[in-house]
Amino acid sequence: MLRYVTTNAGKVREALSYLDDDVTQLDFDYTEVQASDLGPIAAHGAREAYRYADEPVLVDDAGLFIDGFEGFPGPYSSYVEDTLGVEAVHRLAAAELDEPRRASFRCVLAYCDGEPFEASPNPIDRDDRTVAAARGAEQDAEETEALPVKLFTGSVNGRIVPPRGEGGFGYDPIFEHDGATFAEMSAEEKNGISHRGRALAKFSTWYAER
Ligand code: IMP
Q: Which of 61, 113, 125, 172 is catalytic?
A: 61
The number of distinct structural domains making up the chain is 1
**Mean pLDDT throughout 61-88?**
97
The model's confidence at residue 189, banded by pLDDT at 50, 70 and 90, is very high
The model's confidence at residue 100, banded by pLDDT at 50, 70 and 90, is very high
Q: Which of 3-12, 63-72, 109-118 has the lowest mean pLDDT?
A: 3-12
pTM of the model: 0.90
Regarding the beta carbon of 78 and ligand 1, being less than 6 Å apart is answered: yes
Q: Round to whole Å and give the CA distance between 70 and 189.
A: 28
What phi and psi values does residue 49 have, to the nearest 5 degrees? -70, -40
* Residue 61 annotated in active site: yes
**Mean pLDDT throughout 104-127?**
92
Which CATH number goes with the domain that contains 176? Answer: 3.90.950.10
- Please tell me whether residue 106 adopts helix, strand or coil conformation: strand
Q: Round to whole Å and give the CA distance between 38 and 185.
A: 25
DSSP 122-163: S-EE-SSHHHHHHHTS---HHHHS---EEEEEEEEEEEE-S-
Cα distances (Å, whole numbers) of residue 121 to 48, 117, 127 = 24, 12, 18
What phi and psi values does residue 130 have, to the nearest 5 degrees? -60, -40
Tabulate helix, strand, coil % of the chain (nearest 5): 40, 25, 35
Residues 148 and 124 sit within 8 Å (Cβ to Cβ): yes
Regarding the beta carbon of 128 and ligand 1, being less than 6 Å apart is answered: no
Domain that holds residue 168: 2-207
